Amino acid sequence: MSAAARPKKHFGQHFLHERGVIERIVAAIAPQPGDMLLEIGPGEGVLTLPLLRAAGRLTAIELDRDLIEPLQTRAAGLGALTLLQTDVLQVDLGALAPAGRKLRIVGNLPYYISSPILFHCLHYAAHIQDMHFMLQREVVERMAATPGGKDYGRLSVMLQLACAVQPLLHVPPGAFRPPPKVDSAVVRLLPHATDALPPVDGAALQQVVRAAFGQRRKTLGNALRGVLDAGAIRACAIDPAQRAERLPPQDFVRLAQALAARGND
């Protein structure tokens, strides 16, 4: 067994090492022979190796070139491991899914870039069966938050319109090397079937949600000024005196549909 890697601060690396947590995560993923597994940021391979052993093959995307060769060595004989040394945000995830097959994505995501990675994956949701991510606990709480709470925001709305969000388990700092300064959590994301997705222009939805939550303390009428006027908001059966945090995700769909229709006039 090669020496443990030294975590690199500029990559936001915190290597999972707690055996009980690792086993619970693998059990939650429940890898099956032939699964199209894709791991983001495999690190030292503590999830990679049991997943590879169970599924027989796995593709992993790792930015840190110093981790590639040790992981290849550890994985020798366990199955077909494909390692891509690159930034996941530059990868066409759809191209990694063979025709008629869907990806099962796994990752212990660096906290500083977790939201961009989540949105990148959402772009390819039609090619994804499920996702299991380790994230900062606060982020998972935001992902699963319901309207009316302080955690509910842009991330909640965009994710819940695209996926079912299922928080799975809490992971304490001591499960990592080095221990992060925050608690972590594992979450499962199940993309909705394509025919169950709301009929809405993605760019219009992004614009409305971003503007609505850009200044949380403002009413919708003020926050969306320049995007939709009060009359257009009322026409969606939504009170412009409401704040964004009170609206369920489907209300943002109606607002985005109104914005898209105005643009097509």
| pLDDT at residue 7, rounded to an integer | 41
Q: How confident is the model over 20-35, as a mean pLDDT? A: 96
Tally of domains within the chain: 2
Residue 50 lies in a domain: yes
* Residue 113, pLDDT above cutoff 80: yes
Confidence label for 12 from pLDDT (cuts 50, 70 and 90): very low
Q: Whole-prediction pTM value?
A: 0.90
Query: Based on the domain organization, do 212 and 176 belong to the same domain?
Result: no
| pLDDT at residue 8, rounded to an integer | 43
Query: Based on the domain organization, do 131 and 212 belong to the same domain?
Result: no
Query: Based on the domain organization, do 222 and 99 belong to the same domain?
Result: no
Query: Based on the domain organization, do 13 and 76 belong to the same domain?
Result: yes
Of 211 and 198, more confident = 211
Query: Based on the domain organization, do 155 and 217 belong to the same domain?
Result: no
Query: Based on the domain organization, do 69 and 156 belong to the same domain?
Result: yes
* Residue 152, pLDDT above cutoff 90: yes
Query: Based on the domain organization, do 35 and 64 belong to the same domain?
Result: yes
Cα distances (angstroms) measured from residue 200 to each of 125, 247, 253: 15, 17, 6
Tell me the residue range of the domain where 247 lies: 202-264
- What's the CATH code of the domain at 210? 1.10.8.100
Query: Based on the domain organization, do 231 and 179 belong to the same domain?
Result: no
Summary mean pLDDT of the chain: 91
Residue 146 lies in a domain: yes
Query: Based on the domain organization, do 206 and 182 belong to the same domain?
Result: no
**Domain final residue, candidates 195, 218, 241:** 195
